[in-house]
Structure 1
């Protein structure tokens, strides 16, 4: 066995689920001050694995930095104390999300540095810009998150629910074999609720609507319902756009909806302007093009691992040139 594979990597970031556990311990200890048994349990958890201690130190550091920054904001300490008092009457999940809102009172510089990271910690599953992750859920369902995405999990004896808070996910699910009464696998966005039936499907938040694309099996759209009051059944190969009031079939896309799970963008006669908007989701800063070349078309398979290398390919196939003002400001223009 390779020694590197079993040696702890103390300098890597702890897993986000471990960080959530650390935050939960912090909340429990703050809401049960003087509980020596709880303190001992926390110490046992910290000592159980090096990632536990690393996550604990990271959360403690972030909490201390937040408190220090709030000292400079008039009235912020009173507001934070009110939030903490309210959190004692809530469950840990609600308390966690409530206390995370206290960061909105921090300084602009601090928020710019750490708000995204805190949002990732408060979700059950999350990715940063340019990151993609895959998870195996307790029932065997496979959940994959695209760039800059967040989702929460609510599994109970009565239901299996995945809530998409931000970005895009791919779900591969089958029948529920863990309980006597099978539970439907539901995915919820702010626009509707969808049931996967032995299916693989992609759910993506797009401004004022949610896009549902089914690649295998079928998915029932429970809300909003169709005109007849029945769920809309989406078959493999179909896409729907769902708003708060309606669900309507979408025209065929000019790219493979699930290729991102393999680290790819696969296009079919796609507008350059639309292609750049898609690539921009995987990098920081500005990426765009002049209006005179936005309607150029391209087809191909592009790797997302390094978007700078991806962009460098475009002048080889299209009459365009790249103009870098900085590493984070890139514009495409017509080649002279």
Structure 2
């Protein structure tokens, strides 16, 4: 039986330098000057070259940083927390296995992380496999990547998903779970909104397979591009045509096409702290246009300028009433 040559341990300082470059590469595109500096660093000494080989091995497994480190790094630039994460990453590089048996052991280790947005906030994430997530206002998710699956658990709120193809030899399914069921992406772009007791799904590209949480007898539902549905834990809603503006919130816009004012106000309220009340006398007024969700005061002013609506604020804007002008 052939033994494996044991490499000498790497200098902790070199490991930290490799961790710094790996994190910088995950955070943003390097400038030409930075990229040249990175290339010089990699070949400057044999030990640095060996450290970067370990970083490359780590990247080949996760497509970047492990999600639990990558998202936290993006969330805390230039902070003490980031330095602590660098230390964790350097430690991980120190123990990255170089043998096939050790690598199989590493594959069985699960990486997970939780992320959320506040009211009125949006957030973009690039996952370790290259998939993209956009979190809408007041949203909370857990990300769990292991050797069997790529799982996003949507606890509350809404996300826009653009999946990437997982790398061989073990491509893993990309799954979204809510309290109502589980969705498997079939190479696709789609939005999911958890609004108990139902989940709302709109597929923009590709297809999504949906399985109910509490009804194993129901056959999975395939939702194709241009379709939408909603479902509880036990029943599917009907398949209908997806709103052509589904996902426009990711560009910071609330799009309305003859939308009832009451429904428009309900959507706008998701992006604003406090309360917005629509007088029943104007609830059926039809609203059209593109409205910014990052500045709800501006949106309210746009309504006043365009429609016979009066906006009255109380408690420093915490309580807003829309009434006939």
Select the residue among 276, 279, 292 that pairs with 1:303: 292
Select the residue among 122, 141, 144 that pairs with 1:154: 144
How far does residue 267 in structure 1 lie from its aligned partner after superposition?
Answer: 1.1
Distance 1:223 1:260 in 2: 27
How far does residue 256 in structure 1 lie from its aligned partner after superposition?
Answer: 1.8
Structure 2: gaps (5+ residues): 1-30, 32-69, 85-109
Q: Does 1:333 align with 2:319?
A: no
Within a 5 Å distance, the mapping from 1:281-296 to structure 2 comes to: 281-296=270-285
CA contact (8 A) 2:215 2:234 kept: no
**Number of residue-to-residue matches in the alignment:** 230
CA contact (8 A) 2:214 2:233 kept: no
**TM-score with structure 2 setting the length:** 0.65
CA contact (8 A) 1:224 1:246 kept: no
Q: 1:216 to 1:287 in 2, by over 3 A?
A: same
CA contact (8 A) 1:125 1:151 kept: yes
Q: Does 1:138 align with 2:104?
A: no
How far does residue 303 in structure 1 lie from its aligned partner after superposition?
Answer: 1.1
Match of 1:114 in 2: none
Select the residue among 243, 249, 262 that pairs with 1:260: 249
**Secondary structure of the equivalent of 2:298?**
helix
Match of 2:161 in 1: 171
Distance 1:52 1:276 in 2: 41
Distance 1:19 1:165 in 2: 21
**Secondary structure of the equivalent of 2:264?**
helix
Structure 1: gaps (5+ residues): 2-14, 22-48, 57-92, 94-121
Distance 2:160 2:206 in 1: 13
- CA offset digits 1:25-62 (Å, max 9, x no partner): xxxxxxxxxxxxxxxxxxxxxxxx84125898xxxxxx
How far does residue 222 in structure 1 lie from its aligned partner after superposition?
Answer: 2.4
CA contact (8 A) 1:324 1:330 kept: yes
How far does residue 174 in structure 1 lie from its aligned partner after superposition?
Answer: 3.0
Structure ID, larger Rg = 2
Question: Following superposition, which runs of at least 4 residues in structure 1 exceed 4 angstroms of deviation?
Answer: 18-21, 53-56, 224-229, 250-255
Moved more, 317-326 or 275-284: 317-326
CA contact (8 A) 1:175 1:197 kept: no
CA contact (8 A) 1:222 1:232 kept: yes
Distance 1:286 1:310 in 2: 15
Q: 1:140 to 1:16 in 2, by over 3 A?
A: closer
CA contact (8 A) 1:286 1:330 kept: yes
How far does residue 182 in structure 1 lie from its aligned partner after superposition?
Answer: 1.1
How far does residue 325 in structure 1 lie from its aligned partner after superposition?
Answer: 1.4
Select the residue among 80, 83, 89 that pairs with 1:52: 80
Within a 5 Å distance, the mapping from 1:210-229 to structure 2 comes to: 210-223=199-212, 229=218
